Amino acid sequence: MFITFALITLLGALAMLLQKNVIVAGLCMVATFFGVAGLFVLLGNPVAAALQVIVYTGAIMVLVLFVIMMLNSHEEEKAEASRPVQRWVSLALVAALALGSVKLVLASSGVKALNLNGAALPRATTLQNVGAALFADHLLGFEVVGLLLLAAMIGAVALTKRNL
Amino acid sequence: MTGMDAILQGGLQGYLVVALLLFAIGLATVLLRRTLLMQFMGVELMLNAANVALLAFARFRGGDAQAMVFYLFIIAVAACEAAVGLALVIGLYRHRDTTDSDRAASLKQ
């Protein structure tokens, strides 16, 4: 089960990176987000999976696809200057980062111990636990996030409106 | 469980490897693609990779609810970033008639 969702996630992301058409790339992103939601279900966290589908695929990707269609920029524009050196250097850096960090995780004894101990622990994250933690310990943060969402909404309207 | 088994059967290492590769693909998208909307999707991918790692650690520490609170904050900030980022892309398109980040290299017209 895990390997299925992991493959959906990674192949979707890879297809997004290689896709020329921006709309198809957006749809690949939707597949990736569903794969991540599946991983959250396997982690015993249905709340996070539901939020992932609702917020990412339901709101953010719809917004992105809407903007792509509105701007009519389906294809990537022709490059002004091809920058082969920068592209190869960045690709090498990313590959080195990925391989190095994967190797570090696999070699780490702390992660191994956590994996062995954690498999036995109770896994369910219930909505009750989350609600209690959110409103008991992080009430101020919750209010600040609400304010941030309001500010982002006003900012987005102010940026897109031609003449206020 | 040895290393390879843990990856294939959904041990903590497996989730972390998925998160790391997801982050690398997102970073590659931001660095290699020129369309701003693609770069934006790369940023979303990196945020998602962080979420996967966070919730994987939370599960292997016995379903820690604090991680879910953090996840909620990350999602809220990602939504704000989506709204403002897309508004900026639309603003750039109005001024320069392009969504190519290479063509937006100077502040003045």
ipTM > 0.90, yes or no: no
Q: Look at residues B63, B66, B68 and name the one whose alpha carbon lies nearest to residue A125.
A: B63
Contact flag A159-B88 (C-beta cutoff 8 Å): yes
Q: Is the pLDDT of residue A164 over 70?
A: no
**What's the pLDDT tens digit per position in A108-122?**
888 787 777 777 766
Average pLDDT, chain B: 86
Question: What are the sequence ranges of the domains in chain B?
Answer: 3-103
Give the pLDDT mean for B96-107: 80
Q: Is the pLDDT of residue B99 over 60?
A: yes
Dihedral angle over CA of A35, A36, A42, A43, nearest 10: 170
**What's the pLDDT tens digit per position in A17-32?**
998 889 999 999 999 9
> Best mutation site among A4, A21, A24, A43 for testing chain B: the one with the most B CBs within 10 Å?
A43
Residue with tokens 């709309």: A23
Contact flag A94-B20 (C-beta cutoff 8 Å): no
CA Rg value for chain B: 18
- Report the top-level CATH class of A1-73: mainly alpha
pLDDT at A117: 76
Q: Chain A: nearest CA to B107, how far in angstroms?
A: 16
* Contact between residue A38 and residue A5 where contact means Cβ atoms under 8 Å apart: yes
> Best mutation site among A72, A85, A106 for testing chain B: the one with the most B CBs within 10 Å?
A106
Contact flag A155-B87 (C-beta cutoff 8 Å): yes
Least confident segment among A103-112, A153-162, B100-109: B100-109
**What's the pLDDT tens digit per position in B3-36?**
566 667 778 888 899 999 999 999 999 998 888 8
pLDDT at A110: 80
* Contact between residue B40 and residue B86 where contact means Cβ atoms under 8 Å apart: yes
* Contact between residue A48 and residue B68 where contact means Cβ atoms under 8 Å apart: yes
Residues 6+ apart with CB under 8 A from A115: B1, B6, B11, B12, B13, B60
Partner residue opposite B63 with nearest CB, options A97, A114, A122: A122
CA distance linking residue B3 with residue A104, whole number of Å:
12
Distances (CA, A) of A116 to A9, A78, A121, B61: 25, 51, 10, 11
Contact flag B80-A148 (C-beta cutoff 8 Å): yes
Contact flag A152-B80 (C-beta cutoff 8 Å): yes
Confidence of residue A71 (pLDDT cuts 50, 70, 90): confident
Q: Is the pLDDT of residue B1 over 50?
A: no
What CATH number was assigned to the domain covering residues B3-103?
1.10.287.3510
Contact flag B31-A13 (C-beta cutoff 8 Å): no
Residues from chain B that touch A55, judged by Cβ atoms under 8 A, are 75, 78-79
* Contact between residue A90 and residue B31 where contact means Cβ atoms under 8 Å apart: yes
Q: Is the pLDDT of residue B102 over 90?
A: no
Secondary structure letter of residue B11 according to DSSP = -
Question: What are the sequence ranges of the domains in chain A?
Answer: 1-73, 126-164
Q: Chain A: nearest CA to B109, how far in angstroms?
A: 17
